[in-house]
Amino acid sequence: MKADRRQPLQPLSTRVRAGRALMPWIRRAVLWIFALWCLFPIYWLVTMSLKRQVDAISRKPKFIFEPIWDNYLSVLANGEVWQYFQNSAIVALGATALSLILGIPTAYVLARYRFTGNADFGFWILSTRMTPPVAMLIPFFVVYVQTGLFDTYIGLILAHVAIIISIVVWLMKGFFEDLPSEMEEAAFMDGATHFQAFFHICLPVTLPGIAAVAILAFLFSWNEFLFSLVLADRIQTVPVGLYSFVGYQQIAWGELSASAVIMLAPVLAFVFVFQRQLVRGLTLGAIK
């Protein structure tokens, strides 16, 4: 009789352990691929800002080149660019502050009180985010021209608030709903009013959430393009002002990329400084 030379099958437990040992490596590989996919546009933008015009418009992409700083020097010496940054800072900070002032009390009321039309009112606020901004441009433009808000800081701030307010309300509503109501009930038993419970108990506890919402609101306003393009003429923000580097015959790719890098710098610095508050705020209430 011939001996059976077939290899014995590995036990199921051995294969399971081998699969489990490979899973961390697979997850890391997927995360690295995803990170490279997300960071490559930023890498390309930075390298474009350091290239000469002839290297930037080369048919074959040049990954090895002699970097220059002339594009940054040209942008920093341009007074119009600094005016764009000033306009963006005023509008973004104003829209963020006004959105928080209006949105946080609204979110608290929706989270803590039940009244007729509570769900409908909350859905209406959310629906303002579903509406495409281009659908609101003509009404905004007509109203702004008639009321004198066209090409003003307050006009752009109000327009940005119309976009941001729904995000502030719904995120803060979730934070307030995660708070145990026993804290407020204990304050009421001690004689506190609803306003005192809101200002002295709920707001301090949700400060990480407020910081996270403020960062997101600032980013949305800073990057907004359409309203700033249509509702302003002289008061142009950075996303609109960068169009000045696009000429009729050619595009100044180096200066345009350098301006975009400078535009990203405040946002990245803002997120880097407040990253702990952002992560803590977005995970508020996730772990009990």
In this structure, what token pair is assigned to residue 121? 């009112």
Residue of 137, 79, 85 whose CA lies nearest to 267: 85
Could you say which residues of the chain have pLDDT below 70? Answer: 1-21, 277-288
Q: What are phi and psi of 246, to 5 degrees?
A: -100, 110
Q: What is the pLDDT of residue 287?
A: 41
Q: Long-range contacts: 143-149, Cβ < 8 Å, 24+?
A: 144/231
Beta partners for 251?
A: 246
Q: Answer for the pair 200, 208: CB distance below 8 angstroms, yes or no.
A: no
pTM of the model: 0.78
How far apart CA 189 and CA 191 sit, in angstroms, is 5
How far apart CA 146 and CA 155 sit, in angstroms, is 12
Q: What are phi and psi of 251, to 5 degrees?
A: -115, 130
Spatial CB neighbours of 155, under 8 Å, sequence gap ≥ 6: 144, 149, 231, 232
Using one digit for the tens of pLDDT, what is the confidence trace for 107-126?
A: 988 888 877 777 777 777 77
Q: What is the pLDDT of residue 252?
A: 83
Using one digit for the tens of pLDDT, what is the confidence trace for 149-184?
A: 999 999 999 999 988 998 899 888 888 888 888 888
In this structure, what token pair is assigned to residue 130? 């579903």
Residue of 214, 73, 260, 91 whose CA lies nearest to 159: 91
CA distances from 90 to 72, 211, 230 (A): 23, 19, 18
CA atoms within 13 A on the CB side of 269: 6
